[in-house]
């Protein structure tokens, strides 16, 4: 499926934030992450992969190593290999983040 | 620079569309492409790389192989290796597209 639209793919759940895949190849993936207020992606790192977070809707705090970054629509964050990163939706709106990772983990 | 904001990076020029790099590593790059009305990226292909176009602002037509795709904010398009792809801003507004490519060409 080479074409999709984020409005058709957004999905939220009360239990935890949702990862929705848009594109997946041997070389990379592209997801959206959908957070209800209060939900978070726990801090973690990847040994060999770059991740990019791009905020589409809402706001949240992105941990990146020792930094805490306030994200809003249009904020782009690069998480290099081995650097801890995570996301908390501490806003009052739903948070939607475009996520790109390469190489595919 | 691990954090940036698209509003601070957008750049347009009368001569041709502008590519503005957000992040660049050995493994991938993330750019924004900024088109004035009427500007285009000529159709081309990459032998071994995935590209993702994600429309941030405006509208345009994306060629992908034999398909012509109408893109608007939130439209995501995957261009696989060897498939011709290009962009025309045939709308009346400026077009801004987030672009990911992996592996780095």
Residue percentage of chain B with pLDDT more than 90: 98
Is B54 in Cβ contact with A78 (below 8 Å)? Answer: no
Burial of A34 (0-12, 13-18, 19+ CB in 10 A): buried
How far apart, in whole angstroms, are the C-alpha atoms of residue B84 and residue A36? 38
pTM over 0.95: yes
**Is the confidence at residue A25, as pLDDT, over 70?**
yes
Domain architecture of chain A: domains with CATH: 18-102 (2.60.120.10)
Q: Which chain B residues are within 8 Å of A75, Cβ to Cβ?
A: 3-5
Residues making up chain B, counted from first to last: 105
> pLDDT (tens digit, 9 = 90+) per residue, A45-83?
999 999 999 999 999 999 999 999 999 999 999 999 999
Is B74 in Cβ contact with A50 (below 8 Å)? Answer: no
Of B3, B6, B50, the CB nearest to A28: B50
> pLDDT (tens digit, 9 = 90+) per residue, B9-53?
999 999 999 999 999 999 999 999 999 999 999 999 999 999 999
The ipTM estimated for the assembled molecules is 0.96
Of B5, B49, B52, the CB nearest to A30: B52
């Amino acid at each position: 499926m080479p074409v999709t639209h984020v409005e058709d793919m957004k999905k939220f759940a009360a239990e935890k934030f949702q990862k929705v895949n848009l594109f997946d190849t041997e070389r990379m993936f592209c997801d959206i992450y959908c957070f209800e207020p209060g939900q978070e992606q726990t801090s973690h790192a990847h040994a060999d992969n770059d991740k990019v977070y791009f905020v589409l809707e809402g706001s949240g705090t992105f941990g990146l190593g020792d930094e805490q970054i306030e994200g809003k629509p249009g904020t782009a964050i690069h998480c290099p290999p081995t650097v801890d990163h995570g996301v908390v939706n501490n806003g009052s709106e739903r948070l939607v983040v475009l996520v790109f990772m390469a190489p595919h983990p």
